[in-house]
Chains A and B, each alone.
Chain A
């Protein structure tokens, strides 16, 4: 497979499908593939604060330093709207939909669980 796998996340940590997507990203990283995540809407809260989900993602980002790479971009507008722009964990990159388009163009696979019902 050529190119990274991109995940597009819309929902927050309470969504079962979001948790599955993060765990699947972890498994794909472990296989040595590059992974990119674009988090917009409620997903901007995943990497905010010191909660369990944010710490798990921080560990994934740190793992990328030593091998397969994880790029995690949070939509700045969503983070601002939800009041979490200033509490993002280290390694998360603020961005916009131009970054999403760049991920999509450069990826072999783009996966999105959609918005939780």
Chain B
């Protein structure tokens, strides 16, 4: 199943949940919105959790406006995290997934 997981809260529990679903065989895209975009900062304490999630197949993307509001551009964003605009997020919700959830 294709899952899109949106999150606005900088909690690693959501990252771990996405990773567990991917480990179980689902195709998971984790979308970091709002305060959760801080998780994408290179060197953030959650970087290990994000890397672990990516290792089991979670695709991690972050809202470009949320990154910009936090001064996160270019090399300040962790490798493997792709910046996306809100149109791409909308596509992930309505077309790119069988299920979408905002945690």
1/0 per residue, CB under 8 A from A, across B62-80: the answer is: 0100100100000000000
How many chain A residues touch B (CB < 8 A): the figure is 18
Q: Is B93 an interface residue (CB 8 A)?
A: yes
Please name all residues of chain B whose beta carbon is closer than 8 Å to the beta carbon of A28 when the two chains form the complex: 90, 93-94
Please name all residues of chain B whose beta carbon is closer than 8 Å to the beta carbon of A23 when the two chains form the complex: 86
Q: Is B6 an interface residue (CB 8 A)?
A: yes
CA A114 – CA B86 in complex, angstroms?
19
Of the listed stretches B16-24, B46-54, B95-103, chain A binds B95-103
Chain A interface mostly: mixed
Please name all residues of chain B whose beta carbon is closer than 8 Å to the beta carbon of A117 when the two chains form the complex: 9, 35
CA A72 – CA B33 in complex, angstroms?
23
Q: Would you call A5 and B34 a contact (CB within 8 A)?
A: no
1/0 per residue, CB under 8 A from B, across A89-117: the answer is: 00000000000000000000101111001
How many chain B residues touch A (CB < 8 A): the figure is 21
Could you list 20 A-B pairs, sorted by A, with CB under 8 Å?
A5-B94, A16-B34, A16-B69, A17-B8, A17-B35, A23-B86, A27-B90, A30-B90, A109-B94, A109-B99, A111-B100, A111-B102, A112-B102, A113-B8, A113-B34, A113-B102, A114-B8, A114-B102, A114-B103, A117-B9
